Structure 1
Amino acid sequence: MEHEGSSQVRKVLGRGLVQLIGEQNDASTKEIPVDAIEPNPDQPRKEFDEQSLQDLAQSIRTVGLLQPIVVKQVGHDRFQIIAGERRWRAAKLAGVARVPVVVRTGSATDSLALALVENLQREDLHPLEAAEAYAALMERFGLTQEEVAERVGRSRSAIANALRLLKLSEEIREGLASGKISEGHARALLGFQTEAEMIAAYRRILAKGLSVRDVERMVREGVLDRKPEKPRPAPTPLEQAASERLGVPVRIVNRNGKGKLEIPFYSEEDLDRVLSVLGIRLND
């Protein structure tokens, strides 16, 4: 059974999609040669699962392509995909000669936003791919985070949080893209102040299999800020003899005939005893 929150997300995204392309049922569909279609270079989704494509191709051979591909005309009898590249790829694998399409007109901004929204609705767009698409909308078309949010049907805070992933180092982004760490890990790493800390924590995640909560605890406790304590060297024979005589751990620092003698005490009684052993008496 679908969770209410997930359903609500789809409703919000659906409104963004309708705003961009209008109601699908009101659009006319026609068939064009599959070879007259080319992929969109701005497609946010970069990877397509081969087995998933093969499964969809088999379905297309059996029942046909049920959902039209959304395209725009880019030349004489040439069309570019706005939404539906996965279906187009599967149709080619299935050996289909012609496919149903809906031809749309609109700005390049709307085309990129539509491709992004479709993939977000499918919930299979990688977080980094979504972040890069949001950044492309902002950089190439001069949109603000609020305008991007409106076009793709998401909140401004969701856009801002997604864009933060692009602040991660290339090493960490590659780990996220390859599945070595989760999106939760990546977001937790952003809590560190410097890139060096993020990378150190990332490598610790890989080495020790740390959970997201482990990383969040590292951020809170500033674990990476702590300098490791140097192991204290074993006492010298002179330090050992003095410690036994005085009853406290004595430390002697001697550098070229100069140094210091450290005699700790932990109470007034300790101090009196040490002074007594040293033959020092305080005036009452």
Structure 2
Amino acid sequence: MARATKKQALGRGLSALLKDPENDIRTATDKNAEKLVGNIVELDLDTIEVNPFQPRSNFNEENLEELASSIRELGLIQPITVRKIDFNKFQLVSGERRFRASKRIGLETIPAYIRIANDQETLEMALVENIQRQDLDPIEIALSYKRLIEEIELTQEKLSERVGKKRSTITNYLRLLRLDPIIQTGIRDGFISMGHGRALVNIQDTSDQIDLYEKIVGQNWSVRDTEKAVQDYHKPESTDNTSGSGSPGSQIAPEQIKALQNYLSAKVGVSTSKSGKGKITIPFESEAEFLRLSKLITGD
């Protein structure tokens, strides 16, 4: 207990040092800067602003209240991290949930590590530390990876080393950003899992993505159910190439296919997916047959 009291007293002493205009520490080479390195400082909550680079944008109210209750009962176990931006003014690098919970219960000060860094370093620290330590949802993690790649100019290999994740894992997160925003919101809100999203991203048409998404939520599909539905989506409907009949449920009338067969004097296969997309297959038996069909189709 004496050790904790000594540490808290030290933090308050450093806090007083930071409030002294004659000790406005801005760089690691400034006088007394070494006293801050590796130490915990008690900072006034009203001197700290939220980090604009913070990847987290959703804060679960229930979880935040639980954290606030824990801090009220046990104190703050893990200090936040801030960077100094002006005289006695600081900006969060990591620990926004702890910061918000502490304000919620009316604390006036909070233990913090102070770092001196430029904005780019702060962005990298915030993103990497939050990816590793916070329970970000999959979309927030994907956005954090994207920002590290684009704004810090990290390759996926370098990013893999920096965050300690396999490159394939990073790729899977990034692919989620190809989902329709409605589905991304569904993942963030917990309506579907990342596994559902990984299956849906294999469908390029976003309207078809949403159709399946609604079935997943409405019918409580498992990830395996979703994967099977995506596989079925990519299977062309059955096609009778010899008779030229259209796919079941197809909007293409058999007589239209028959007219194309008569025009080309060839068998024509037509297959369509549930979205209405499809393909036409025209088999040929010789180079001369191919040239004849090509001339009819192109008009040359």
Using the size of structure 1 for normalisation, the TM-score is: 0.65
1:83 aligned residue:
94
AA aligned to 2:78 is Q
The answer as to whether partners of 1:114 and 1:152 remain within 8 angstroms in 2 is no
Name the residue aligned to 1:51.
62
Q: Does the Cα contact within 8 Å between 1:72 and 1:81 map onto a contact in 2?
A: yes
1:173 matched to 2:184? The reply is yes
What's the offset of the Cα at 1:77? 1.0
Question: Is 1:153 aligned with 2:164?
Answer: yes
Aligned to 1:187: 198
- 1:70 offset after TM fit, Å? 0.6
Superposition deviation, residue 196 in structure 1: 3.7
Q: Which of 119, 132, 142 lines up with 2:130 in the alignment?
A: 119
In structure 2, how many angstroms separate the alpha carbons of the residues matched to 1:57 and 1:200?
40
RCO higher in 1 or 2 (8 Å CA, sep ≥ 6)?
1
Q: Which moved more, 1:55-64 or 1:184-193?
A: 55-64
What is the distance in 2 between the residues matched to 1:80 and 1:27? Answer: 18
Q: Could you tell me how far apart the structure 2 residues matched to 1:170 and 1:53 are?
A: 26
Q: Following TM superposition, by how much is the alpha carbon of 1:115 offset from its aligned partner in structure 2, in angstroms? A: 2.8
Distance 1:45 1:31, change over 3 A: same
Hey, what's the Cα distance between the residues in 2 that align with 1:218 and 1:135? Answer: 29
CA distance in 2, matches of 1:128, 1:76: 36
Paired amino acid for 1:33: D
Give, in angstroms, the shift of residue 185 of structure 1: 0.7
Larger CA deviation: 29-38 vs 215-224: 215-224
> How has the CA–CA distance of structure 1 residues 156 and 109 changed in structure 2, closer, same or farther, with 3 Å as cutoff?
farther
**CA shift for structure 1 position 160:** 1.3
- 1:80 partner SS: strand
With over 3 angstroms needed to count, the CA separation of the structure-2 counterparts of 1:41 and 1:224, relative to structure 1, is farther
Please point out which of 98, 105, 111 is paired with 1:100. Answer: 111
Shift of 1:106: 3.0
Q: Distance in 2 between matches of 1:155 and 1:110?
A: 23
Provide closer, same or farther for how the CA distance between residues 80 and 208 of structure 1 changes in structure 2, counting only shifts above 3 A.
Answer: same
What's the CA shift for 1:223? 5.7
2: CA distance between counterparts of 1:175 and 1:228? 32
- In structure 1, the partner of 2:249 is 229
- Rounded to whole Å, the distance in 2 between the matches of 1:171 and 1:90 is 29
Please say if residues 197 and 224 of structure 1, whose CA atoms lie closer than 8 Å, have aligned partners that are also in contact: no
Deviation of 1:122 after TM superposition, in Å, equals: 4.1
Q: Do the aligned partners of residues 174 and 66 (structure 1) sit closer, same or farther apart at CA in structure 2, a change above 3 Å counting? A: closer
Q: Percent identity?
A: 43
Larger displacement relative to structure 2 (95-104 or 211-220) = 211-220
Superposition RMSD in Å = 2.4
CA contact (8 A) 2:67 2:101 kept: yes
SS at match of 1:48: coil
Q: Distance in 1 between the 2:141 and 2:80 partners? A: 21
**More deviation, 155-164/61-70:** 61-70
Matches of 2:248 and 2:50, distance apart in 1: 54
Q: Following TM superposition, by how much is the alpha carbon of 1:74 offset from its aligned partner in structure 2, in angstroms?
A: 1.1
SS of 1:222 mapped into structure 2: helix
Partner of residue 129 from structure 1, selected from 115, 125, 140? 140
Deviations 1:211-268 (A, max 9, x none): 21122112333367535437xxxxxxxxxxxxxxxxxxxxxxxxxxxxxxxxxxxxxx
Q: Name 2:173's counterpart in structure 1.
A: 162
